[in-house]
Structure 1
Amino acid sequence: MGPAEAAERLLIVSSDGHVGAPVAHYRGYVDPKHRCDFEDWLAQYVPLWAATQAKDPGLPETLSEDYKRAWMQQAKVAEGAEGTWNPTRRLASLDAEGVALDVLFPDDQSANSPPFLWFAREYNRRWDQEYSPELKLAGARAYNRWLVDFCSTAPERLLGLALIGSLADVDRAVEEVRWAKANGITGGVLLPLVYYNNVEPFWNDRRYDPLWAACAELEMPIHTHTGSGCPYYGDQPEAPILFALECTYWPHRPLWFLIVGGVLERHPGLKLVLTEQGSMWVREALFMMDHQVSDPKYAFGARGHLPLKPSEYFERQCWLGSSLVSRPEIEARHVIGVKKMMWGWDYPHIESRDWLTPRENLRKVLQGVPEPEVRAILAGNALEAYGLDLGKLEPIAARIGPRVEEIVAA
């Protein structure tokens, strides 16, 4: 294929995909001193969402079992579940849909939660039933070691994110980030999914500066993602609805902690990516921050703790992984920041049908958007956020990418 023909195809980078080994498979990746703990965890493990095993009847109803059954009967859903742990299957899915690269978050919807991290806890499971920081780190390490093997199949297309499990021991968190980067996990770091309480100090605490410094030095963006990490919603039938109404709010919180706490000022090379939590909210949040930090009735504002406006730190160091992106968000893209929005297909999650028919969904949601902006949302912004090598991705896009006219209306 010549350069002219290649230019007629779109480079697509997904900012949000999910992977994870079938839980028993983590046994070989868990440190031997925690194998007994792992067996105890495995014996209690209850799959969630589109799980292939029966849910514990002792837990109250959350999601509709009828809906899950119908969902799992689709052949493509079964292929998607396999694609979370089988890299060959995943690459076949990427090829079929024209996606050149996938940014990989951990999963919990196909009986594949990382050990000890309660990605699969029900919304009515109390937060104080979380595992210890030591075991959370052990689970993160097991997942990271498995992820190295998964991504090694096609490192130019499978961009993994490291887990650190807990912020309780900053030195060990830094050690894990350095290990991950050295061993091929180069997409960045996912912050622990506890966004609502301060069992550990919040992200503005200066004790975390060595971690932010290491992530900046290693060019490892830090991420938040919707999902677990929300408050205890109780055991009533409305619990999953309350979760769904609020789950996209909680992962916003590190944005203002990191900006107002001066983290992005002290670490100008640090990047923050906020994934699968909508994007309409960000401008109102930045407006409020810009106002509050300059308000003279606060000593913070009067003394000018931050040399830049919060919105300027956002423009310099933050991006939005706009999974499940909606047409209203696209219409508001210039208000939100057309250079900040990154499309993601959320493969293979039950709450997102985008990954089942991505080209069709892209045609609908991007209708009327100029081609340069389409290219930015589908790949260009991700190239900047992750420092990706365009030279390695262009030949892939030339081979599998959709033709421009398939997505961009004349």
Structure 2
Amino acid sequence: MTIDVWMQHPTVRFSQHEMFDSLRRWTGQQALSAELPIELTLAAMDQAEVGFGLLSAWHGPREGAMISNDEVAEWVRAHPGRFAGLAAVDLAQPMRAVRELRRCIGDLGFKGLRVVPWLWEAAPTDRRYYPLYATCIDLGVPFCTQVGHTGPLRPSETGRPIPYIDQVALDFPELTIVAGHIGYPWTEEMVAVARKHENVYIDTSAYTSRRIPGELIAYMKSGSGRRKVLFGTNYPMIGHASALEGLDDLGLDAETRELYLHGNATRVFGLAHKD
């Protein structure tokens, strides 16, 4: 069963935000004018035989909850066999953020935390993250983030794997870090950081199979790298069928392909009951 580790079910307030103008220009998608039923997202998954997805909440410094934790929890409750949640918190209020993360994991059953650095214009080494890292370790859940350039209309510097992800992994070696969007144009940096740190992983969200850089494909085929790369889409930016098109051309052996599409996600996010 294929697992998507980075996807959103978009709300109107998320979809209409001006920072996504560039993505709409690239993809030809239109901003929503009405809320969409969760069944449309399920249908997109079914079309590509994606059995399970990690739905992200989104919280911004000025915008507040663009996709709230409670909205994600409602979709998960409606379809517990298809979804789990990733929490979003207010980075500007660290103690409130820690309490919200504990609520999401303990009460709502979420599987991790996601903070998008460019949204906050704060690199992962910013001191406001550090209580959250300690809490993720305490709760036994991954910290998920974005690496690489920024498609939305925000600065890209916060997405550098070196020094930011490297330094966090040095400061918190017990922290599981899942770095989404592969790190382009710093993909080699991201691979180097994943090689160096036992608990650092990469997901391929926001890239179709045909656009995955060669250096990451080579890493996926290596003895250690095959256990370090996870499939993601960044849906609805990229549909599941589009993201998987061309997968056969990557030359992955059967074991590596299974780990990429399923096995690594089940292990990293504690989804061992998914088969």
Q: TM-score, normalised by structure 2?
A: 0.77
Q: 1:321 matched to which residue of 2?
A: 203
Q: Which of these residues, 347, 356, 360, is aligned with residue 235 of structure 2?
A: 347
CA offset digits 1:310-367 (Å, max 9, x no partner): 955x22x121112214262323424581110111123221xx4x63445533223x3x
Residue type matched to 1:277 in 2? I
Instruction: Quote the offset at 1:263 in angstroms.
Output: 1.9
Q: 2:79 matched to which residue of 1?
A: 154
Bigger strand share? 2
Q: Secondary structure at the match of 1:189?
A: strand
CA offset digits 1:242-281 (Å, max 9, x no partner): xxxx579446654123123x222xxx2x211001134794
Q: Secondary structure at the match of 2:6?
A: strand
Residue type matched to 2:200 in 1? C
Q: Which of these residues, 2, 11, 31, is aligned with residue 21 of structure 1?
A: 11
How many Å separate the matches in 2 of 1:196 and 1:148? 23
CA offset digits 1:77-111 (Å, max 9, x no partner): x9xx79x94222222222221111112235xxxxx
The structure with the largest alpha-carbon Rg is: 1
Q: Secondary structure at the match of 2:8?
A: strand
| Map 1:209-358 → 2, pairs under 5 A | 209-225=130-146, 227=150, 230-231=154-155, 246=156, 249-250=159-160, 254-260=164-170, 262-264=171-173, 268=174, 270-278=175-183, 281=186, 284=189, 311-312=195-196, 314-315=197-198, 317-323=199-205, 324=207, 325=209, 326=212, 328=214, 329-334=216-221, 337-349=225-237, 352=238, 355-358=240-243
How many Å separate the matches in 2 of 1:371 and 1:49? 37
| Map 1:367-382 → 2, pairs under 5 A | 368-382=251-265
| Map 1:92-111 → 2, pairs under 5 A | 92-106=43-57
* Structure 2 gap segments, 5+ residues each: none
How many Å separate the matches in 1 of 2:242 and 2:42? 16
| Map 1:377-388 → 2, pairs under 5 A | 377-388=260-271
Q: Is the 8 A contact 2:117 2:158 kept in 1?
A: no
Q: Which of these residues, 77, 85, 98, is aligned with residue 174 of structure 1?
A: 98
Residue type matched to 2:203 in 1? G
How many Å separate the matches in 1 of 2:226 and 2:189? 16
Instruction: Quote the offset at 1:68 in angstroms.
Output: 5.7
| Map 1:114-153 → 2, pairs under 5 A | 117=60, 131=62, 139-140=64-65, 143-153=68-78
Q: Is the 8 A contact 1:152 1:184 kept in 2?
A: no
* Structure 1 gap segments, 5+ residues each: 1-10, 25-44, 51-61, 73-77, 107-113, 118-129, 232-245, 290-309, 395-410
Distance 1:254 1:143, change over 3 A: farther
Identity of aligned residues (%): 22
Residue type matched to 1:172 in 2? R
How many Å separate the matches in 2 of 1:63 and 1:150? 25
Instruction: Quote the offset at 1:184 in angstroms.
Output: 2.3
Q: Is the 8 A contact 1:204 1:257 kept in 2?
A: no
Give the stretch that moved more between structures: 216-225 or 84-93. Answer: 84-93
CA RMSD across the alignment: 3.8
Structure scoring higher RCO (CA < 8 A, sep ≥ 6) equals 1
Q: How many corresponding residue pairs?
A: 265
Distance 1:197 1:249, change over 3 A: closer
Instruction: Quote the offset at 1:47 in angstroms.
Output: 4.3
Q: Secondary structure at the match of 1:372?
A: helix
Moved over 6 A (4+): none
Residue type matched to 1:187 in 2? K
Residue type matched to 1:258 in 2? V
Q: 1:243 matched to which residue of 2?
A: none
Distance 1:338 1:172, change over 3 A: same
Q: Is the 8 A contact 2:47 2:241 kept in 1?
A: no
Q: Secondary structure at the match of 1:347?
A: coil
